Amino acid sequence: MNRLTITTLALVAIATLLTQAKAQAQACNGHASLCSKPITQVTFAGTHNSFASAGGLGATQFTNISTQLDQGIRLINIDIHKFNSSSGTPELRLCHGSCALGDNGPAISAFRTIRDFLTSPAGSREVVAVIVENAAKASYADFANLLSTSGLTPLAYSQPPGTPSAWPTLGDMISRNKRLLLFASDLPAPPAGQPLPLVMPHFAYISETPFQLRQEADWTCALDRPRGQPRELVLVNHWLYKSVFGFDSPDAENAKTVNVASELRTHVSRCESVRKQKINFVLVDFYEHGDILQVVAGLNNVPYTPKPKPPIPTSASGSGGITFGVATPTPTPPAAGGSADAAARSGTDASSASSAPRSLPTMGTIAFILLMVGFGILLPTL
């Protein structure tokens, strides 16, 4: 090989690298074609109870939030409760149902993890959504403190209510460096006459399909929360629980078939047809099994480049926890002129439960119940 050939090959290689670097610099959530799309026309892959990973209590995922974001998950779902810290001061914690039985750490840790990703080179042109199940009934001030303490305040975007046609494009959000969408349930209407809060009431912006899912027949496209009331954004819940002693339990083994491309694609595509809306968020358990990222790439009409999947701990292969119902946050009332019976209009089943599932570790819960029963039997003799 002569010197001219070597030089030519080197120049071609350099040009290719520069082209790839330029394309990456212009990408939005990994793809230049998404830059011109508003949020209402983009689908985000999400993890249900993102913080509840293997090794924690009530696991619904195998890996932590940091790994999920690195892999391509762009919707993080967390549950927050108020629970006393070691000093006895109430603080916001990541818990399933009861922090006394399943405490996954302070809520601020999840916000800091998201900040670390968004401010890293890999996350610098990414838009991430966060949905908080607000069991703590945290206030606007509480969320403002979480954003400020974690350093996320400058990155948070809030959409003025009642402006469905005015959602920004991914490119707009990235150019303005407003790349975090934060939603939370159980919030009142934003205070009038004050700056728009950086956390948006979940059910004022997002409608979602049923979440108490025990068989494939439960994968309807009815709007469950708020009941029969369409919103600007749509979320599809996609998992199946198993029954353990009459309680719902996340099923890691079943996720191997539930999360395959054909099942996911059929469910989401059917809901897009029924709802006549783009599905914006898809939530799954144990995303590490199956094809959620591949399916979402297809829904966004972008090529899918798989990353090596994170290892699944052998001891976690059957992870899951008994699920108890707790009070569901009251959805925001429908906006004036909203449909009161979208489920009936769509011809789908509108049945749903009135309590949101929370998970506890199967063996831990059983042990706790046995302990309480034993304590109740022995108490009269003490």
Q: Range of 311's domain?
A: 33-329+341-381
Domain membership of residue 17 (yes or no) is no
132-136, 305-309, 346-350, 368-372: segment of lowest average pLDDT: 346-350
Domain membership of residue 273 (yes or no) is yes
Domain membership of residue 132 (yes or no) is yes
Domain membership of residue 27 (yes or no) is no
Domain membership of residue 16 (yes or no) is no
Domain membership of residue 334 (yes or no) is no
Domain membership of residue 141 (yes or no) is yes
- This prediction's pTM: 0.78
- Model confidence band, residue 238 (pLDDT cutoffs 50, 70, 90): very high
Domain count across the chain: 1
Domain membership of residue 20 (yes or no) is no
pLDDT tens track for 369-380: 444 444 343 333
109-123, 129-143, 276-290, 354-368: segment of lowest average pLDDT: 354-368
**CATH code for the domain in which residue 209 is found:** 3.20.20.190
- Counting residues of the chain whose pLDDT is more than 90, the rounded percentage is 53
Burial of 168 (0-12, 13-18, 19+ CB in 10 A): middle
